Structure 1
Amino acid sequence: MSTALRIVLAQCNPLVGDVEGNARMILEQVRLARERMDAQLILFPELALTGYPPEDLLLRASLLGQVEAALAAIAPLIDDCHIVIGAPYRDDVGLRNGAVVLGNGREIARYAKRCLPNYSVFDEKRYFVEGTQPCVVSVAGISVGLTVCEDIWYPEPARSTCDAGAELLVNINASPFHASKYSERLETLRMRVAETGLPLIYVNQVGGQDELLFDGQSLALDGSGALILRAPSFETGLYLVPHAGGGEVTELASLEDREADAYRALVLGVRDYVRKNGFPGAVIGLSGGIDSALTLAIAVDALGAEDVLAVMMPSRYTAPMSLEDARIQCANLGVQALEIPIERPFQAFLGVLEPLLAGRPPDATEENIQARCRGVILMAISNKTGRMVLTTGNKSEMAVGYATLYGDMAGGFAPLKDVPKTLVYRLAHWRNREQSVIPERVLTRPPSAELAPDQKDSDSLPPYEVLDPILEYFVERDWSISEIVTAGYDREVVERVVGLVLHNEYKRRQAPPGVRISPRAFGKDRRYPITSGYGRAIR
């Protein structure tokens, strides 16, 4: 680049479907970028005007009409700079995932995304038609080449854009977070820079959208591949790109460790799900165990203690220490707490079912009745107060079905749905480093559902140190039983775990959504049939 083009990255958090609100947000960001940074080019994320992913809202003609109206209203107001907005639009070929350039009071260009992802959580080919042509626009005498998200993961779009005369590549994104995603992105961007010799500017969305979480971490690389800007993760903001080629480097936002990244992702995911859906707060069943303790800490960090209600629902099997620890945590966090024993409703259900239960030994039936008593209480509180119930189950439990339908699975959002039990412990320890809010005894005592006398999770499941790696291999990496056994695990244990995973798909299909933080999460990411004979033959 021969001149210092003042480029600002608008790392923003749009609301899916709120075209008018997103347009107002875009105009406010433009105003601030002009006033504070004298921006000449402002980049917004992929589909910023509709939010990402809009899914089947794209099938609504009214949404596309709102987009065109918003673009027409914004364009005359962009007269002293240029902006690139992600927006869907329809042309003679079909619906496009586009980048729209506005400047000089008018629309200058539209670019259609050329590589449409159709794997993992992405299904863009359901909606969009691929573009075929590069797009290069002139901004303050600099030829700027446009790409959208997935385009940059393949050599051809960047190469052809370079061949079309670009002096600078920009890439607008809605790239979801998962562990290790940052390093994958940086490696890919450096490959494109090495292939083209061009500086590359990458802007990413921030915020939670149902199960997906967008982490930001927008980047800028100079023509040698050196990182000259890294915006913070999980934060909105405007970030001025230093002169690419002038040796100038802004302060790079620090990289967090895996626990910090995961915890901050969960906090943002809970905050956006509750707030964007209009709930005044959250209610959580607090048992005195590790999962509900971590969920409560996340909820308070996301929403504030005043908007979180903890409900302790002891049963005849609840250990006194569980109730004590739950009370201590509520005091530590400043959370309002209710105590509602479940013995009376439990006895009432046992009485109603006595003709069926008589003469039969207690089993999971009685255990599940207790969990369902708690579910009814939490949902009643939710109905009366408007607060969303946050469930407390983790990924290990969801995988093997160690959860009760219409009991502890009853609720609106599951913060720990993609968090294995071993990571639950690490996150709890990490949170306590900042401030000791989770009692030490919760971190050290053996986990238990406390639905039967002296019950421990290990009575029903392999140790989590064994279970979690097996689940990672089978669920996230699609390894076979034989491959997992070869990695050093007992065949009988592996076969049992795999059987539980396959058998409990029907439960997971009825579970609330939760924040995706792994490369493969249950829900939108991993789609297995409920009715299947596959498990009979798998080896």
Structure 2
Amino acid sequence: MKDGFVRVAAMTPALRVADVDYNVDACVEAVRAAKAQVVVLPELAITSYTCEDLFLQEVLLDAAEKGVARLAEETADVDSLVLVGVPVRVAAKLYNCAAVLCHGELLGLVPKRNIPMYGEFYEGRRFCCGPTSVSMVRFAGCDEVPFGTEQLFECDTMPGLVVAAEICEDLWVPNPPSTDAVRAGATLVCNLSASNELVGKADYRRNLVASTSARLMCAYAYASAGWGESTQDVVYGGHCLVAENGRMLREADPLNDIELIRAGEGHAAVGATAVVDFGLLAAERRRMSTFSVEADASGYAISSFDLDVCEVSLDDRFVDPHPFVPADPSRRAERCESIFAIQAHGLAKRLAHTHSRRAVIGVSGGLDSTLALLVCARAFDLLGLDRSGILAITMPGFGTTDRTHGNATAMSRALGCELREVNIAAAVRQHFLDIGHDESDHSVTYENAQARERTQILMDVANREGGLVVGTGDLSELALGWATYNADHMSMYGVNAGVPKTLVRHLVHYVADEARAKGDEGLAAVLLDVLDTPVSPELLPATEGGKISQKTEDLVGPYELHDFFLYQVLRCGFAPKKVYRLALAAFDGRYAGGADADGAFVGTYDAETIMKWLKKFYWRFFSQQFKRSCLPDGPKVGSVAVSPRGDLRMPSDAAVALWQAQLETL
């Protein structure tokens, strides 16, 4: 429950048709086995779904009512909200309901709104459509139980957990009850279902649950009837799913898993249990201005319940250490191609609009300038222009190594660009004399003078050539302020402004793979060597062996950590304590070496290291906003961006004290 995490379970117990005592025992065991704060059981689980005309028998209905009372009593000591399907008589009519229980109390009865009468379904023979308005009824020994579809169940001890129920067919109609429930404040929709299996239906069901959770920005738990139901004409597979904002967290499909079928023999239940982040859902809803929630809950009846505020382990929740990079190779390749297309189209449009004859870019042999040069080549191809119009300028200085210089040269030639070299050493030394700076003083002035000299060269050459300076800085550098103000910070169009460093690496690797597939081994080889080169601005002299002496990640921290922080802070809006907790889970060694296949393995970091760089991240992020407040134009490619004209409207004078103070308490 802490930090917004709640364990939600969709469980399918093994039942017997019309055997209420047996089924209640099975439901009790399923609730206890789930070990979750919210447990969803299937439609009509108290009796089983396939009783057909037996639902018209008083003896079955009486037993069902007593069964709910016994289930409430025998789960009173379980710290869970439980939703179970049961037939309910109201005013001489029969309704297919979800009974909502917590700590032995019957909180409400939510009837099915949409009654199917097509294909294999014939529910209208026995059940009525449930009313939306809520009234009080007698049931299971309780004199006043709320009855009606417009009900919400709100946890007092965790206000972010607001539960709504709908039943099977309610999800499949054009306007599901969950839409209004979510607009009234629901964050978790529980579907008690009895969806039979047909060829292809599981895929459709899966997509429907995932897309509904995405459209409604909610969690969705779906528990379907399974083992023990009658197979007279159809088969029920016990498909259970838990989704969160479009992401399928957990799924159990016993029909296609013999081990799950065996696990479901006897009373044992099968199901899907997942840790849902309700803090993330709240952040998403705050961010989306078009997502509306009625302040007065639109007339819904709200019942409160309490759950213990406990620490929910994240062991069962995948915390992606590289949130910007898909782990699946095929999805990663698709992502890379899409990003290249966005970058190239953005640059092509800017070149065409400005009537620029040339694209001018500084190439260092590092990752960022390599990616920017590749984007330039794609943009020129889109415009049908000769790549010789790309003017690649290498500008060796005091820290340039033979390796990076050689890679910059080889790559420019392999892409068919015009290559020029301008050594900046003499000009920078003259500048040192002009401002009275001692060359042996390797302070920030020593470094930034080189960076600004390079930018001056690029701008002036672009003016003379009628060209446009293409920026190379990436999203991670902009977030950290790892750029020299009015130097590499500035350009006429920054193609990498929306690409985080962890993704830059994969984009370059993607092009290397493409080049190898086309037989261009020369380009592939130089790109792979760029990938193998340490990230460095190369502004300090190289070592005696000609090796890079200045490594960026030694100074600002590992980029995989900073990109993780960046995503959690900007995309999710999480507080420092939650970012820290998630980082501990993501980098504790569970995924080490296994998340990525292209050389960017997941590191393992201890708590002290994570805290060190998280503090550094917040300090740099706040203190360097003045650089982001005057960024050049550049294309947004993902859900996280820092453009002052788009995603990040942040004052340059904001204080970091609140965020630092929270970190100090951990």
Amino acid at match of 2:550: Q
1:512 and 2:607 equivalent? no
In structure 1, what is the equivalent of residue 432 of structure 2? Answer: 350
**Cα distance change, pair 446–353 in 1 and its aligned pair in 2 (3 A):** same
Q: Secondary structure at the match of 1:409?
A: coil
Q: 1:291 aligns with which of 368, 374, 377?
A: 368
* CA separation of 1:308 and 1:368: change in aligned 2, threshold 3 A: same
Could you report, residue by residue, the CA deviation over 1:423-463 in whole angstroms, capped at 9, with x for unpaired residues?
00000011111115351211111111000131111221111
Give deviations 1:218-239, integer Å, cap 9, x for gaps: xxxxxxxxxxxxxxxxxxxxxx
Show the 5 A alignment for 1:137-148.
Answer: none
- For 1:517, give the aligned amino acid: V
Residues 250-272 of structure 1: per-residue CA shift (max 9 Å, x gap): xxxx9972122112211112111
Q: Distance between the aligned counterparts of 1:373 and 1:359, measured in 2?
A: 15
Equivalent residue number for residue 528 of structure 1: 650
Residues 301, 478 of structure 1: alpha-carbon distance in 2 compared, 3 angstrom cutoff: same
Please list the CA deviations of residues 199-250 of structure 1 after superposition, one character each: whole Å capped at 9, or x if unmatched.
xxxxxxxxxxxxxxxxxxxxxxxxxxxxxxxxxxxxxxxxxxxxxxxxxxxx
- Separation (CA, whole Å) in 2 of partners of 1:456 and 1:515: 28
- The SS at the match of 1:488 is helix
- 2:580 corresponds to which of 485, 488, 493: 485
**1:281 has 2:281 as partner:** no
Q: Does 2:544 align with 1:467?
A: no
Q: Which amino acid aligns with 2:346?
A: G
Tell me if the contact between 1:502 and 1:535 (Cα under 8 Å) persists in the aligned partners.
no
Where 1:257 maps in the other structure, the secondary structure is helix
Is the alpha carbon distance of 1:316 and 1:534 closer, same or farther for their aligned partners in structure 2, counting shifts above 3 Å?
Answer: closer
Q: Call closer, same or farther: CA 1:364–1:258 in 2, change over 3 Å.
A: same
What residue is the counterpart of 2:377 in the other structure?
A: 300
| Pairwise CA distance, 1:290 | 1.1
Identify the residue that residue 435 of structure 1 maps to in structure 2.
515
Match in the other structure for 2:502: 422
- Which amino acid in the other structure matches residue 272 of structure 1? K
Q: Give the aligned residue type for 1:510.
A: C
After superposition, residues 113-512 of structure 1 pair within 5 angstroms as 187=211, 257-304=334-381, 305-354=387-436, 357-358=437-438, 361-436=441-516, 437=523, 439=526, 440-453=528-541, 454-489=549-584, 490-512=610-632
The residue matched to 1:390 in structure 2 has which SS?
A: strand
CA distance in structure 1 between the partners assigned to 2:453 and 2:401 by the alignment: 18
* Alignment RMSD (CA, Å): 2.7
CA distance in 1, matches of 2:554, 2:482: 12
For 1:402, what is the secondary structure of its paired residue? Answer: coil
Matches of 2:332 and 2:611 in 1, distance apart? Answer: 39
TM-score by length of 2: 0.42
Distance of aligned partners of 1:326 and 1:348 in 2 relative to their CA distance in 1, 3 Å threshold: same
Cα separation, partners in 2 of 1:301 and 1:375, compared to 1, 3 Å: same
Contact 1:474 1:498 (C-alpha < 8 Å) held by counterparts: no
Identical amino acids, percent of aligned pairs: 27
Q: What SS does the aligned partner of 1:316 have?
A: coil
Structure 1 stretches of 5 or more lacking a match?
A: 1-153, 157-182, 193-253
Aligned-partner Cα distance in 2 for 1:493–1:315: 30
Q: Secondary structure at the match of 2:471?
A: coil
Distance 1:366 1:190 in 2: 51
CA shift in 2, pair 1:190/1:397, >3 Å: closer
Q: Take 1:383 and 1:187, find their aligned partners in 2: how far apart are those partners?
A: 50
Residue identity opposite 1:435 in structure 2: A
How far apart are the structure 2 equivalents of 1:312 and 1:428?
A: 19
Alignment deviations for residues 99-129 of structure 1 (CA, whole Å, 9 cap, x no partner): xxxxxxxxxxxxxxxxxxxxxxxxxxxxxxx
CA contact (8 A) 2:432 2:439 kept: no
Write the distance in 2 (CA, Å) between the matches of 1:389 and 1:403: 16
Q: CA deviation at 1:495?
A: 1.4
SS at match of 1:338: strand
> Which whole-Å deviations, capped at 9, do the CAs of 1:3-48 have from their partners, x for residues lacking one?
xxxxxxxxxxxxxxxxxxxxxxxxxxxxxxxxxxxxxxxxxxxxxx
Return the alpha-carbon distance in structure 2 between the equivalents of residues 506 and 449 of structure 1.
21
SS in 2 for 1:288: coil
Taking a change above 3 Å as real, the CA distance of residues 478 and 341 of structure 1, as seen in their structure-2 partners, is: same
**Larger Cα-atom Rg:** 2
- Tell me, yes or no, if the aligned pair for 1:285 and 1:312 is still in contact at 8 Å: yes
Counterparts of 1:255 and 1:479, CA distance in 2: 26
Alignment CA distance shift 1:346-1:302 (3 Å)? same
Maintained 8 Å contact 2:333/2:510? no
| Aligned position for 1:93 | none
Cα 1:474–1:363 change in 2 (3 A) is same
Contact 1:481 1:495 in 2 (8 A): no
Counterpart amino acid of residue 327 in structure 1: T
Moved more, 403-412 or 422-431: 403-412
Displacement of 1:375: 0.6
| TM-score, length-scaled by structure 1 | 0.52
CA distance in 2, matches of 1:352, 1:476: 46
Preserved contact between residue 358 and residue 462 of structure 2 (Cα < 8 Å): no
State the AA in 1 paired with 2:421: E
For residue 358 of structure 1, report the CA deviation from its aligned partner. Answer: 4.8
Secondary structure at the aligned position of 1:388 is classed as strand
Give the conservation status (yes or no) of the 8 Å contact 1:481–1:491: no
Structure 2 distance, partners of 1:352, 1:458, is 33
Provide the rounded CA distance (Å) in 2 between the counterparts of 1:306 and 1:279.
14
Which secondary structure state, in structure 1, belongs to the residue aligned with residue 640 of structure 2?
coil
Relative to structure 1, the CA distance from residue 483 to residue 358 in structure 2 (aligned partners, 3 Å threshold; closer, same or farther) is: same
Q: CA deviation at 1:492?
A: 2.5
Please state how far the C-alpha of 1:340 moved relative to its aligned partner.
Answer: 0.4
What letter matches 1:484 in structure 2? V
Distance across 2 between alignment mates of 1:478 and 1:309: 41
2:490 and 2:656 map into 1 onto residues whose CA distance is 29
Structure 1 position 475, deviation (Å): 2.2
Secondary structure of the equivalent of 1:377? helix
